[in-house]
Amino acid sequence: MGPEAVINKSLAELSRALQSKETSSVDLTRAFLERMDTGQGLNAFITVDGDRALEQARAADARIARGDAGSLTGMPLAHKDIFCTKGLLTTCGSKILSNFVAPYNATLIERFNQAGAVILGKTNMDEFAMGSSNETSYFGAVENPWDRACVPGGSSGGSAAAVAARLAPAATGTDTGGSIRQPAAFCGITGLKPSYGRVSRYGMVAFASSLDQGGVLTRSAEDAAYLLSVMAGFDPRDSTSIDRPADDYVGSLEQDISGLTIGLPRQFFGEGLDPEVGRRVEAAIEEYKRLGVKAVDIDMPNCSLAVPCYYVLGPAEASSNLARYDGVRYGYRAPEYADLIDMYKKTRSQGFGAEVKRRILIGTYVLSAGYYDAYYLKALKLRRLIAQEFEQAFQICDLIVGPTTPTTAFKLGAKVDDPIAMYLNDIYTIPANLSGLPGISIPAGFDNAGHPVGLQLIGRYFDEARLLNMAHHYQRVTDWHKHTPAGFA
């Protein structure tokens, strides 16, 4: 199997090719490493260790030869640079961790290693996952392969760009307020955020601990099902991990969806939604109706307040989580300082970027004695109300469907100086994080400029199997997920 044939196959197809020995993990890994070396220039990766990847590939080929292989044995994957990976840099896109080599593996990395997968490299990201455009990274902005003058979305923009440009068959990401689904929409791929607690957060560097969730970016829902089958499951090392067995995500893909009901929130189709995005989403809904799915309008007024709620709770948790980066134990330390307090100040001032500092300051403010009740406590109450709206909605529908983002990808630099406009990109994705619900974004066409449009599906708690099933049926009758950016085919 030649390099071009390898690059354009889905993860599921590559898995079958490896099992049938039509290709080898070494050949597969080398093909993707060579593609990354050709100078695609997207800045999608922070760290690539080709020697290590090929060593893992040779070990995987030996497992396959012994007949001791699973569905992902020998599969080269990319990982967001927020997952601790033993022996590799884990930077979180920040100067303050630019020299940090993790001494252990995150549970997610460990499970892929046990499955025999190959680590191609660590992908670029917004600093500490704080951003919606992948422009806050210390290592520079990532470009969108569909339009290199545009952002790929964030914070998992490096992972999304790598998969869209066929630099990797699939990649991991994290989603705190839409950081998997939004870049998936901007880059024309599939992005799955599982339920909170479904995938272990052990070894995943924290931004906002009650919101962060690991997930995947892939070409298709079928590919996402393969990855989630390895990632999902209880982890005693993570106090937020749910002791609940994983479902048969791959086996559930073909289940009949006729007779299911999708809810269409009025708040997701009103003011602020780009008309072209709206038309593509409506066309996707019509496609579901042809598949026998019913649609009902639902009202979720509190979801319109999700953005201010999130930008109180998220920064509050970040201000606590990021207090550990002080230059004492690991990471960057200011080269010159007068005393310990001066070292703290200069290390954090020099080590953190502008967006991270902004959120730490906001978080510290809303947690302060005079403002805790006025901001933080009210945000917690609103979070509960948003979760209750979803509970009520799921009494009349099986899934909730709408646009992933209000617009398609915007120009690099267009919103850097306007944080409020940047934050509003996540208006449709944040409610699922506040409620801990699973969500998936799948490609649903293109706008007039050729930029991808994303369709979002939100399910009940731990209903990832149904989400993947619904997405898979849509992808069986459409080919939006098979399109490749010009110059990357």
Per residue in 306-323, pLDDT tens? 999 999 999 999 999 999
Domain span holding position 220: 41-47+96-109+128-260+397-482
CB 450 within 8 A of CB 280: no
Q: What is the average per-residue pLDDT within 7-35?
A: 94
Is residue 203 in some structural domain? yes
Q: What is the average per-residue pLDDT within 95-99?
A: 97
CB 360 within 8 A of CB 318: yes
Is residue 52 in some structural domain? no
Residues annotated catalytic, as ranges: 80, 155, 179
Tell me what pLDDT residue 143 has.
97
Q: What is the average per-residue pLDDT within 262-288?
A: 96
If one counts the domains in the chain, the total is 1
Q: What is the mean pLDDT of the chain?
A: 96
Q: In what order do the strands lie in the sheet with 76-80?
A: 45-48, 118-123, 76-80, 171-174, 214-218, 190-193, 439-446, 452-458, 399-403, 261-265, 294-298
User: At residue 277, does pLDDT exceed 80?
Assistant: yes
Q: pLDDT tens for residues 148-162?
A: 999 999 999 999 999
**Banded model confidence at residue 37, pLDDT cuts 50, 70, 90:** confident
Tell me what pLDDT residue 3 has.
60
C-beta atoms surrounding 174 within 10 Å: 27
Q: What type of residue sits at position 453?
A: V
Is residue 66 in some structural domain? no
Tell me what pLDDT residue 5 has.
73
User: At residue 44, does pLDDT exceed 90?
Assistant: yes
Q: pLDDT tens for residues 116-148?
A: 999 999 999 999 999 999 999 999 999 999 999
Gap between the Cα atoms of 249 and 99, Å rounded: 38
Is residue 187 in some structural domain? yes
Is residue 297 in some structural domain? no
Is residue 53 in some structural domain? no
CATH number, domain with residue 202: 3.90.1300.10
Q: pLDDT tens for residues 329-357?
A: 999 999 999 999 999 999 999 999 999 99
Gap between the Cα atoms of 239 and 200, Å rounded: 9
User: At residue 39, does pLDDT exceed 70?
Assistant: no
CB 210 within 8 A of CB 245: no
Q: Is the dihedral of CA 7, 10, 11, 14 positive or negative?
A: negative
User: At residue 40, does pLDDT exceed 90?
Assistant: no
Q: What is the average per-residue pLDDT within 202-214?
A: 97
**Banded model confidence at residue 38, pLDDT cuts 50, 70, 90:** confident
* Helix and strand numbers, DSSP H then E, in the chain: 16, 11
Is residue 309 in some structural domain? no
**Banded model confidence at residue 390, pLDDT cuts 50, 70, 90:** very high
Is residue 308 in some structural domain? no
- The pLDDT > 90 percentage for the chain reads 93
